[in-house]
């Protein structure tokens, strides 16, 4: 078996699956072996490649099924992409880190407050369809850490914690870029280094609670699709300069 052969098979299968409905049965290893006249190793690798692309899901004891990645909307006034995932019932979040800190220059410029202003910093790990699909970092002003920590402990879900606190975050503005993953991101998202990923950066807010946050979410482009809606450019021209600043995280 050569690398090119199983990738060619995967490309061929991917073309036939495009119009198939989500949840319909995908070709089995035996069917791939018979159709392409290859051994089990090639057939298994081809189906594994389709799974890596997010085009099929393998369910132990049931088989392999067609899967079309969900489309999330990036637009002013829409919930964050990770909130949309949870609301659609396709994802869960884990909050491995949360602490108080001072806003770094990038986040402060984007929000429009002085660098060093007090804020709550959180990182999140996003899971969907039994796979790690993304991660998110949030710098939020106006959030009380003890209250948020208590809500997370009680509800064991970021969205349910927000619901309990009646917090509704929506994009004030956002931008999305598509590019290759570096080694650190690829390792974190359990994906090959050469695979593309989405990076969505922007400012979210809950006006009634006076919460404003800078959010960066990175996720696998083969697991989640984006619908980008063009809106007005932020008034502060230095926002884009700060976002592109080398070395800022």
pLDDT for the residue 116: 93
* 71-243 matches 3-66 in CATH topology: no
Going by C-alpha positions, the residue among 141, 106, 105 that lies closest to residue 121 is: 141
Topology adopted by domain 3-66: Arc Repressor Mutant, subunit A (1.10.10)
Query: What are the residue boundaries of the structural domains of the chain, listed by start?
Result: 3-66, 71-243
Query: For the chain, how many residues are written?
Result: 249
Distances (CA, A) of 212 to 68, 82, 242: 33, 16, 17
pLDDT for the residue 248: 33
pTM equals 0.68
1 pLDDT exceeds 60?
no
147 pLDDT exceeds 80?
yes
For the sheet with 118-128, list strands across it. 91-102, 118-128, 131-141, 211-220, 196-206, 170-180
Give the DSSP per-residue string, 75-115.
-TTSBPHHHHHHHTTSEEEEEEEEEEEEPPHHHHHHHTS-T
More confident position, 74 or 8: 8
Topology adopted by domain 71-243: Chorismate lyase (3.40.1410)
247 pLDDT exceeds 70?
no
**Percentage of the chain lying above the pLDDT 90 cut:** 18
């Amino acid at each position: 078996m050569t690398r090119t052969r199983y990738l060619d098979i995967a490309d061929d299968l991917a073309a036939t699956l495009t119009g198939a409905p989500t949840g319909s049965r995908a070709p089995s290893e035996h069917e791939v072996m018979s159709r392409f006249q290859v051994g089990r190793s090639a057939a298994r690798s081809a189906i594994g490649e389709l799974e890596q692309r997010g085009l099929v899901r393998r369910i132990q004891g049931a088989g392999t099924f067609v899967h079309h990645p969900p489309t999330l909307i990036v637009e002013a006034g829409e919930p964050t992409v990770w909130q949309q995932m949870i609301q659609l019932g396709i994802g869960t979040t884990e909050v491995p880190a949360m602490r108080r800190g001072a806003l770094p220059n990038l986040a402060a410029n984007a929000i429009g407050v002085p660098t060093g202003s007090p804020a709550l910093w959180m990182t999140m790990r996003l899971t969907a369809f039994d796979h790690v699909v993304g991660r998110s970092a949030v710098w939020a002003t106006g959030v009380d850490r003890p209250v948020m920590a208590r809500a997370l402990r009680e509800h064991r879900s970021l969205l349910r914690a927000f619901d309990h606190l009646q917090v509704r975050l929506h994009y004030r503005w956002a931008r999305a870029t598509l590019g290759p993953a570096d080694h650190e991101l690829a390792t974190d998202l359990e994906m090959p280094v050469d695979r593309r990923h989405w990076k969505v950066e922007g400012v979210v807010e809950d006006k009634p609670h006076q919460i404003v946050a800078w959010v960066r979410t990175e996720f696998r482009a083969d697991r989640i699709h984006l619908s980008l809606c063009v809106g007005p450019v932020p008034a502060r021209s230095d926002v884009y300069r700060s976002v592109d600043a080398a070395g800022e995280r």
